[in-house]
Chain A
């Protein structure tokens, strides 16, 4: 029996897939790949439209596999808002796992949209959601699997237009040769404006150049080909010159009122298990904390919350519609939601009778309470995670993680006394000004947590499991640490060994990140246009999926750097001066450079900045609010 018709999805016009569909070819390869349900579409709530009544076909692409991409709330929001546009059909595309990629190539099946099965090379626009630097080669892999020329200049027609958004686009330069457009900031309104402009262009038969020039006039649109970059002899940037009509600075776009912004309550429910297989509720955007290493904390400003009433309604609708039995309260620092206790009570009133549990991503140790924990874990119990980030108070002050040792220990005390016997502690190593003393502070803190367990645990016989996890610091654009140097992989390894040597207790488990991956992340995070050639070389040598341990090839990256003549240390291990022109100078997240410099200097002095609720530090994000106030 062949796959000939769609059903299940609540959609007005049922469209019958033609017999010539590539699904007939796919039938031959799907039985031989792992988790074939990733590649079929057909899930509950997918959106099907009639192509004959569709003016614009959009592929929303995610440069990682289905399991990861379907877990991304941004993808779900954009899928929903774009499909609400009349005459526009937005489909999903994920990067296939290597077995499927090989099978597609071998059988000459071009990459297709999951909903229709139609090749995306014939679509009007491809929009990439890019949140992780290591996924850049995946973008090229998707384009290549689709049969689309990789370089923007080799795609001369109007279609397909390749645009990209997401956190990585605060420095889109490594992708400048490949994408036509970067959309900066939140996409709910911006992407729709871009698609509407494309509709005009298609109707009036504009050239690609005309379309890009007009697009550059939309706030938040960055067209890399409209900027000319010149370099100094020392390889730093000499100048970035916009060509008319491109603006000198592209400022990010935000949604003003989150309560009124569209939230996907009728979202796709995958038929195969994904990484975050639950309903996600976004409580607010932005963060009041100002941790100096945290890119998300800076680029998602200003703080905008949803009201309790809207959240409860959206949660109930989304849970009813999806049938999920877990609700995750997501935000950068969820426990900073002003009415979290009351919100949890309201949600539990609805969830408990239906066997639905609440979960929080991670907790801040300074406003942690058993009362909150009881609410969250009432139906299902899971482990606890705290992120002290640094081992000593001095270093926590440098990074502005305003959490004290006593906060952490008392949070653990409360948890252990409440019956918990597993705690995860997250740290970063290689932070600016770090010494071995700070590293050993991680060990000391973990041992103190163990001591607290012995003192206060309700049931000591069950034993305790403390997990210490260290990641490697990567300096990111738009943060006060954007000028800092990163530790070399050798230095990271030495510090990891120092922890291993001093953490010889069975009750404490230590895990660490691969410093080689972090080096590549650092190069690309602050890379300029010249690093684009490396991406092309790496994807040819080692394919996409570089974010996966089993696919990541340090050798491929190293030899690509060598061939292209790029020194990774120039990007990762070099401290910049405040007046150097950074590759992302033309992009603005709405934060003043003066604020970042001030924070950078305070960090060097080991001085903290209070959170935004205690005192506004004047970062500038307020100016993005039109008539409304930050955190209002």
Chain B
């Protein structure tokens, strides 16, 4: 009973479920599992479910966190096994616990991206690209132009990349693993690619896969 944090993964087919649809999916999964959760008051009651760091469509994750308030006597430790049979393919609750940190204290995100370069014989070779990408991310500034509906602004994402590691994978692919600022401001795998597209388009991959690996507080302890 009370405030509860779920850690879950969203992989495979489930990566195509949008953020809003994911909220609905969890709301229904709680109903199916007969785990009572707090609803809003008023004419149009809906469940209080908060996903701390919304995940982009198409990105996988093994470190998602969701906050909810349990209103019945379901023991927190039993929530994963109650909820998992009620979730669609690809979403799995790994653990449930009482929140330790406030959502605002989530500071860093570790993600892994696979970049593929498949332009045939004429295209660049992954090993060669690896060094170039390395140099690219060593620039002092990486200012990207972010466009919103109303205006566009320059944003230097360099200070918000904490660590980065680039490895050449099999064939024509590279793996980039980075620890970045998770929120305020947030740096996403897509933002790194936006920087490449804008500043060094010759290094833009022909295809990519992203996956969130871990989330941390300001001391690089796993966020719980």
Q: What is A's interface to B at a CB cutoff of 8 Å?
A: 1-10, 27-28, 30-31, 35-37, 39-44, 46, 269, 271-273, 277, 319-325, 354-355, 379-381
Contacts and interface: CB of A to CB of B under 8 A. Distances in A.
B17 interface: yes
A269 B207 CA distance: 31
A3 B17 CA distance: 14
Contacts of B207: 28
Closest 4 pairs between A and B when the two form their complex, measured CB to CB = A323-B28, A323-B31, A42-B89, A42-B13
A535 to B, nearest CB: 32
A43 B88 contact: yes
Nearest to A40: B13
B85 interface: yes
Query: For chain A, what secondary structure do more than half of its interface residues adopt (helix, strand, loop), or is it mixed?
Result: loop
A236 B129 CA distance: 71
B39 interface: yes
A312 B210 CA distance: 46
Contacts of B86: 44, 323
Interface stretch (B19-27, B134-142, B173-181): B19-27
Contacts of A5: 12
A3 B30 CA distance: 25
Contact of B11 (A1, A8, A322, A325): A1
Given A8-B87, A10-B85, A355-B39, A271 B21 contact: yes
B51 interface: no
A565 B31 CA distance: 58
Contacts of A8: 85, 87-91
Nearest to B12: A3
Interface of B: 11-14, 16-18, 20-21, 24-25, 27-32, 34, 39, 43-45, 57-58, 60, 85-92, 207, 209, 211
A321 B25 contact: no
B28 A1 contact: no
Contacts of B211: 1
Nearest to B207: A28
A127 to B, nearest CB: 25
17 contacts: A2-B12, A3-B90, A4-B12, A5-B12, A7-B89, A8-B91, A31-B58, A35-B18, A36-B57, A40-B16, A41-B13, A42-B90, A44-B87, A271-B17, A319-B31, A324-B31, A354-B31
Contacts of B87: 8, 44
A275 B36 CA distance: 27
Residue with the highest number of chain B CB atoms closer than 10 Å, among A31, A271, A273: A271
A27 B59 CA distance: 12
Nearest to B34: A320
A323 B14 contact: no
Given A271-B21, A323-B27, A323-B31, A42 B45 contact: no
Contact of B16 (A2, A28, A30): A30
Contacts of A43: 88-89
A320 B20 CA distance: 22
Given A44-B28, A272-B18, 11 more contacts: A3-B13, A4-B12, A7-B90, A8-B85, A10-B85, A35-B18, A40-B16, A271-B17, A319-B31, A323-B29, A324-B31
A113 to B, nearest CB: 14
A277 B21 CA distance: 11
Given A28-B207, A36-B16, A6 B89 contact: yes
A153 B36 CA distance: 57
A9 B88 CA distance: 7
Contacts of B16: 30, 36-37, 39-40
A210 to B, nearest CB: 41
Given A272-B21, A324-B28, A1 B12 contact: yes
Contacts of B89: 6-9, 41-43, 46
Contacts of A355: 39, 45
A323 B31 CA distance: 5
Contacts of A324: 28, 31
B11 A380 contact: no
Contacts of A27: 209
A271 B45 CA distance: 21
B85 to A, nearest CB: 7
Nearest to A30: B16
A4, A44, A319 — which one has the most chain B CB atoms within 10 A of its CB?
A44
